[in-house]
Amino acid sequence: MSPTAVDTTPLLPGSAEFIPDTKPEEILPIYTSLTSAFRTDRTKSLEWRLGQLDALERMIRENGALFKQAMLEDMHVSPLDSDVMQVSLALSDIELFKANLESWMKPETVSSNLLTFPGKSELLSEPLGVVVVYGAWNYNFLLTLQPVIGAIGAGNCVLMKPGDYAVRSTQAMMQLIPRYMDQDCIRVVSGGPELSDAILEHEWQKIFFTGSPNVGRIIYEKAAKFLTPCTLELGGKSPCIVDGTADLTVTARRLVWGALASAGQTCVRPDYVLVHESIGDRLVQMVKSTVKEFYGEDPKESPWFARVINQRNFDRVTGLFDGSEDLMVLGGPKTMDRDTCYVPPTIINFRTDKQRFAAAKVMQMEIFGPVIPVCYYNDVSECVDFIRSRPSPLASYLFSSDPTMKETFKHSIHSGSQAINDTMVQLSVEDLPFGGTGASGFGSYHGKYSFECFSHKKAVLSRPTILDVPQRYPPYTPADGKFLRAALNAKLSLVWGRLSRLMTTGKIVAFVVLLLAHLSELIVADFMSDFWSIGRDSAKYQSEHSGPNSCFQWEVQTLLSQQCHNEVDDYYENEKDDNYRRSMILCFGMATQKYRRCKEEGHGGHWWLVTGERSQARANTLEGCLLKHFKQAITLLLKTAEVNGKCVPIQRS
């Protein structure tokens, strides 16, 4: 069947009829329904998210043969290619989400500063709301469902619109999505530009679009009316550089595979080749041989070679041949067939004619077809300058065995992603984000990045009402300003957050183990540096006024390791200024003051651990453990006395 024909035969047994395109006037009630569903908060639960991911996985597994048949009819894509490059990748993403979603949803504790101590700073990932996903016809299932997986996993309601050119695969999703998914929260529509215009008349919380730069600009302009954030996965002319050290056999195979997969209709395909002139002729010959190896004498008869999506795109791709027919060393217009949308694998070799190469029609836009332009270079700087003179591509590729060349490539070429000695497979790595830069789009997804793409990271600071620092409130003194600046710049580590989680669950033993194991690395490094900076900043003021006669207004843990003892001892020996020395003791003096007060009140000195009837025994046990390990440091540094509520450091004996 010709890819241009629209087959209205129902895909599913028992289907009454071919589902027609969604009418523009249907969008408003769909939008209203999705918005109302999101406001019920049911999509925010882990159970709902996992349930919908399970349903989507079941839909794909139970209808895999139907999906592959639809893609075969749309673009003559082989079932094996559809399985490997679309179905399997979607299933892999679902499995990744199911395995990690619970941990991704948990708040992330981040570092605070001393001004907010003992507050807890967190990042809370929350769903954006009702989002739109525009799929793309070239990999219709994957490029529609993969972002939808991220949107569902992040807890959003979703309106998805598959690529309208791929009629059969879109029809499959139109028939299957309502059978498996929660229709209150997840809807699928189909249609052309008129439907898209109707969608963009409403205020969505996110628009995710995969497609051409021209359509992407239109969507972005209309989204700006509502300040709707967008992720745009566009395209561009992705370059491939082959230097003189490349393994030509492997290069030819991986280059042909990437450039001709899905008849070249892949947004990250190598769109043109820049090869060193010393190996240019050999590479072109090997590419020709590899095409024959992969697709036979007549690729039109090969089950592995796809078709251009429709006659409109057939005309566009073949129109790029104009003016370059004499340079075609493979394929070309002789064997192409408009009725079946067949464009043969074509190589256009410009050799060293760089001017003609740059001006050729085939170099003025993303090809999105099975055409490989080739040009030879003499020095890699020519490649870098040429690529930089054009819009930033979605991907860039290098084949080389030279470490210096690899480093030059990584740091000189600006693109959405890169692969060295391969093409396109970077998209299969779930821990690598996929997205463009500049003209090739913005935003990224895949794996956890899909979850983040459809989430808002909300900043949350939670503080107790104790320890209200008076220096933050007017009227201010010069000392208050110095204190506030120092407190804002002193960053606390994640230790407080880790300890808080342990303490709230009552895991005292685990807390002690963590404390002893990481004390010198985490606590000393962070707390000592913070206290030293504050002590130093206050020293000058203290020496100019009444001396160390006021306490720092925060509570700190009285936890010092032997390493801390040694470092401070060395500090005393090196610092001759008594003001600095007194400030050091003053910083730690406040900790001991709180320790002693709590101890006098029967809390064992550790007020943050005291809960329940066994609090005294628990605190005493921890106190004994700490004193056993840090007795010398405490004895040496934490000698203070209380005089009229003031902290007065005692001179070191």
Q: What is the pLDDT of residues 400-422, one digit of tens each?
A: 999 999 999 999 999 999 999 99
Is the pLDDT at 523 greater than 70? The verdict is no
- Give the whole-angstrom CA distance, residue 112 versus residue 439: 38
| Cα 581 to chain centroid, rounded | 48
Q: What is the reported pLDDT for 590? A: 45
Which has more pLDDT, 528 or 229? 229
Q: Is the pLDDT of residue 165 over 70?
A: yes
| Tens-digit pLDDT profile for residues 358-382 | 999 999 999 999 999 999 999 999 9
Q: How confident is the model at residue 471 (pLDDT cuts 50, 70, 90)?
A: confident
Higher-confidence position of 549 and 233: 233
Q: Tell me which of 255 and 640 has the higher pLDDT.
A: 255
The SS3 of residue 433 is coil
Contact 198, 222 (CB under 8 A): no
Residue 255 has pLDDT above 80, yes or no: yes
Name which of 356, 338, 336, 361 is nearest 346 in CA terms. Answer: 336
Identify the pLDDT of residue 6. 54
State both tokens at 258: 């990437």
Strands (E), 415-566: 417-420, 434-435, 441-442, 444-445, 455-462
User: Which pLDDT score is estimated for 119?
Assistant: 86
HEC assignment per residue over 180-202: HCCCCCEEECCCCHHHHHHHCCC
Of 277, 254, 257, 279, which is closest to residue 266 (Cα–Cα)? 257
In this prediction, residue 652 has a pLDDT band, given cuts at 50, 70 and 90, of: very low
Instruction: Taking residues 96-103, report their average pLDDT.
Output: 98
Say how far apart CA 436 and CA 420 lie, in whole Å: 18
Confidence check: pLDDT of 509 > 90:
no
Q: What is the pLDDT of residue 489?
A: 77
Dist CA 250 CA 22 (whole Å)? 47
As a whole number of angstroms, the distance between CA 405 and CA 19 comes to 54
pLDDT of residue 271: 98
pLDDT at 131 over 90: yes
- Which of 82-86, 237-241, 371-375, 556-560 is predicted least confidently? 556-560
Percentages helix, strand, coil for the chain, rounded to the nearest 5?
55, 15, 35
Residue 526 pLDDT > 60:
no
Higher pLDDT, 294 or 616: 294
pLDDT at 535 over 50: no
Confidence of residue 500 (pLDDT cuts 50, 70, 90): low
Average pLDDT of the chain, as a whole number: 82
Statement: residue 618 has pLDDT above 90: no
The closest of 49, 230, 237, 253 to 153, measured between CA atoms, is 49
Catalytic residue among 17, 62, 194, 233: 233
Alpha-carbon span 307 to 342, nearest angstrom: 5
Across the range 40-51, mean pLDDT stands at 98
Q: Is the pLDDT of residue 599 over 90?
A: no
Tens digit of pLDDT for each residue in 331-364? Answer: 999 899 999 999 999 999 999 999 999 999 999 9
Q: What is the pLDDT of residue 466?
A: 84
Output the CA–CA distances (angstroms, integers) from residue 120 to 102, 425, 456, 497, 582, in the order listed. 21, 41, 19, 6, 30
Mean pLDDT of 56-85: 96
Average pLDDT rounded to a whole number, residues 603-616: 38
C-alpha to C-alpha distance for 286 and 289, rounded to whole angstroms: 5
pLDDT beyond 50 at 646: no
For residue 641, what is the enclosing H or E element?
strand 640-643
pLDDT of residue 591: 46
Q: What are phi and psi of 166, to 5 degrees?
A: -85, 85
36 pLDDT band, cuts 50/70/90, is very high
Question: In this predicted model, what pLDDT tens digit does every residue of 278-336 receive, in sequence order?
Answer: 999 999 999 999 999 999 999 999 999 999 999 999 999 999 998 899 999 999 998 99
pLDDT at 569: 47
CATH annotation of 238-426: 3.40.309.10
Which residues, in sequence order, are CB contacts of 128 under 8 Å at separation 6+? 154, 156, 205, 206, 229, 454, 455, 456
Give the model's confidence band at 491: pLDDT under 50 very low, under 70 low, under 90 confident, else very high: low
Instruction: Name the CATH code of domain 27-103+127-233 (choices 3.30.2320.80, 3.40.605.10, 3.30.590.10, 3.30.930.10).
Output: 3.40.605.10
Asked if the model's pLDDT at residue 576 lies above 50, the reply is no
Segment 126-149 shows an average pLDDT of 98
Helices 529-544, 478-489: inter-axial angle, 10-degree rounding: 170
Mean pLDDT on 128-134:
99
Is it the case that residue 514 has pLDDT exceeding 50? Answer: no
Extents of the domains making up the chain = 27-103+127-233, 238-426, 470-649
Q: Given this model, what pLDDT does residue 275 score?
A: 99
What are the structure tokens assigned to 27, written together? 């969008």
Residue 277 annotated to the active site:
no
